[in-house]
Amino acid sequence: MENIIEINHLSKSFGEVKAVSDLTLRVKKGELFAFLGVNGAGKSTTISIICGQLEKDGGEVFVCGENIEKNSREIKKKIGVVFQNSALDSALSVRDNLKSRAALYGITGKNFTKRLSELAELLDFENLLGRTVGKLSGGQRRRIDIARALIHRPQVLILDEPTTGLDPQTRRLLWNVVQSLRKTDNMTVFLTTHYMEEAADADYVIILDSGKISAEGTPLELKNKYTGDFITLYNPTEDALETLGLPYEKIRDAARIAVGNTAQATALITKHPEIFTDYEITKGKMDDVFLSVTGKKLTGGDEK
Amino acid sequence: MTGLWSLTRRNTKLFFKDKGMFISSLITPLILLVLYVTFLANVYRDGFMSAVAGMNIDVTIIDGTVGGQLISSLLAVCCVTVAFCSNLLMIQDKTSGARADITVSPVKKSTLAISYFLASAFSTVIIGFTALGAGLLYLLKMGWYMSLSDVLLMALDVILLTLFGTALSSCINFPLSTNGQASAVGTIVSAGYGFICGAYMPISNFSGGLQKVISFLPGTYGTSLLRNHALRGVYAEMTDAGFPEEVINSIRDSIDCNIYFFGTKVSEGAMYAVLAGSTALLIGIYVLMNVLKKARKR
């Protein structure tokens, strides 16, 4: 699969602070790429450099085969960005906002009308077109932000913490739209998020810490490498848990027993079939991976 | 070109739809209007009456003089303060993130810079011409002595002063990037410009030193041009009514129709040259600021 984003030894400092340090990564065409890290890890700096908003100190960045230093305007035609905070004009209507932004890509007249109705149907905002953006709810506004990013049919969609603070319904809608566009248009999605369950659906994940890559791989590779498996044993007796002699976490009507891997879990179950009558085996979660890699927890944007 | 037109339209629409920005831009002209309605008009009327005491005079000439002074002052502050406030959008876009959203598209930064200038000038001209229209209607009621050429010259003055205000505000607003800075600029210009351009009080009332300082400010000449064109008909009527030339000249001096640069009377042609020249210079500085920023970024 071809690389749609290629970053080689990227570095950027703000005074003494090294925001990004010797970052090298590849994003394959059509994949969902998750970029994780606590606030200040360097995610937004990297995105700003990719989008041509910020100058880099060193390294190379290629998007769709074009060097950002040489052909920034061509790259901008191919990327769509959903910023952390909505950047639309609060005083203007949804239609006026999208019209003014579409014109920047040369989409005007009938082409704009057609694209607007496609997006309004896709993101379910036909009834919001005449409303002032400043008067929309957070979820409604987010839908318009996404429409703005998709207005010119980008090849790469950059989502910078797109679902922070959103209601579950809008989050679901957003992900359904993104997944559908990935299928129909083979669109690449570059995602930064604080929600680990979103990262778990990614094709490839990079965990960034203090501007450097701490871990990378598919979610499965990361889980296998950085966390073990867990057996959730329902309604266990104290004697049974003592017999197993393994560390466990007590939850309401069960105990979560940590084991090294699936093979160990299988061995344990076959050794004590009288104890494992009601149980399930699960892989570690992306939260566990993140905690194990960085020593930090991500909870909706805050480092703990 | 589509991008420039679209951005200019967006910026203009934003100014008129953003009630905060729109109303704050009109604060200085409104203050001026209140000052005239409450006492300034009476002060000037009494002043003119005392200057022509003992002469048989049609009261509409005096009303026409006060009215002409009011609308020229109003237009002088309007053209600059509205330009400043509408051009604050270039700072607001930085703080709201809209600038990042715009520049993530393939639009050139120079196109964005030109769009701010054009939108600010366009919004100000709309307000300036509306104010001019309202002012002319007011003069029609108070005492009409203007010719068509006076009206057209006043329209030209509004356009020139608008371009000057837009160019000046573009240079001042360009490096600013926070709401605090925007608010400070808006407040200083709204509060101060009415005084230094001679709208609140004629410059001739200021001390000699201050008059010399103010004579270096190009906006002063814009006010004087507006005043000359608003009052030319009134002065002609006074001459026809047999007013002594000295009396008319002293009225012209007292309300800044005559402006002196270190004792030398500045002609209307020179006033146009100063205003147009300083506007061209400021536009040049604005272009240079954009070019240097781009070069520094590289």
- What does the pLDDT look like over B125-167, one tens digit per residue? 999 999 999 999 999 988 889 999 999 999 999 999 999 999 9
Q: Which of B3, B98, B108 sits opposite A103 (nearest CB)?
A: B3
Does the distance separating the beta carbons of A92 and B3 come in below 8 Å? no
Report the distance separating Cα A202 and Cα B127, nearest Å: 54
Tokens describing residue A116: 């607007």
Rounded to a whole number of angstroms, the distance from the CA of B16 to the nearest CA of chain A is 9
Q: How far is CA B184 from the centre of its chain?
A: 20
- What is the helix, strand, coil percentage profile of chain B, to 5? 80, 0, 20
- At A58 the three-state DSSP class reads strand
Is this model's pTM higher than 0.90 or not? no
- Which of B15, B89, B105 best probes binding to A when mutated, by most A CB atoms within 10 angstroms? B105
Chain B residues lying within 8 Å of A79, measured CB to CB: 104
Tokens describing residue B164: 């000057």
- Which of B94, B99, B101, B298 best probes binding to A when mutated, by most A CB atoms within 10 angstroms? B101
Rounded to a whole number of angstroms, the distance from the CA of A53 to the nearest CA of chain B is 7
Tokens describing residue A150: 């998709």
- At B85 the three-state DSSP class reads helix
Q: Which of B6, B101, B108 sits opposite A103 (nearest CB)?
A: B6
Residue A302 pLDDT: 44
Report the distance separating Cα A259 and Cα A256, nearest Å: 10
- Interface predicted TM-score (ipTM) of this complex, two decimals: 0.84
A202 φ/ψ sector (left φ>0, alpha ψ -120 to 50, else beta):
beta
Report the distance separating Cα B146 and Cα A128, nearest Å: 51
Does the distance separating the beta carbons of B96 and A99 come in below 8 Å? no
- Residue of chain A minimizing CA distance to B98: A87
Residue B18 pLDDT: 87
Rounded to a whole number of angstroms, the distance from the CA of A277 to the nearest CA of chain B is 57
Provide residues of B within 8 Å CB-CB of chain A: 2-3, 5-7, 9-10, 13-14, 17-18, 96-98, 100-108, 297-298
Q: Which of A77, A92, A101 sits opposite B17 (nearest CB)?
A: A92
Residue A301 pLDDT: 44
Rounded to a whole number of angstroms, the distance from the CA of B26 to the nearest CA of chain A is 19
Q: Decide the pairing of beta strands A188-192 and A156-160.
A: parallel
Residue B74 pLDDT: 92
A32: enclosing H helix or E strand:
strand A32-36
pLDDT in tens, chain A (304 residues): 689 999 999 999 998 889 999 999 999 999 999 999 888 888 989 999 999 889 899 999 999 999 998 888 999 999 999 998 889 999 999 999 999 999 999 999 999 999 999 999 999 999 999 999 999 999 999 999 999 999 999 999 999 988 887 888 888 888 899 999 999 999 999 999 878 888 888 999 999 988 899 999 999 899 888 888 889 999 988 888 888 888 888 888 899 998 888 889 999 999 999 999 999 998 888 888 888 888 766 554 444 4
Compute the count of residue pairs across chains A and B with CB atoms less than 8 Å apart.
Answer: 71
Q: What order of strands is seen across the sheet that includes strand A248-251?
A: A248-251, A254-259, A229-234, A279-283
pLDDT less than 50: residues of chain B: none
Report the distance separating Cα B147 and Cα B131, nearest Å: 18
Torsion angles phi and psi, residue A14, rounded to 5: -115, 100
- Residue of chain A minimizing CA distance to B13: A92
Contact B146, B71 (CB under 8 A): no
Does the distance separating the beta carbons of B100 and A83 come in below 8 Å? yes
A103 touches chain B (CB under 8 A): yes
Q: What Rg value do the Cα atoms of chain A yield, rounded? A: 23
Rounded to a whole number of angstroms, the distance from the CA of B84 to the nearest CA of chain A is 19
* Residue recorded with tokens 């994003």: A27
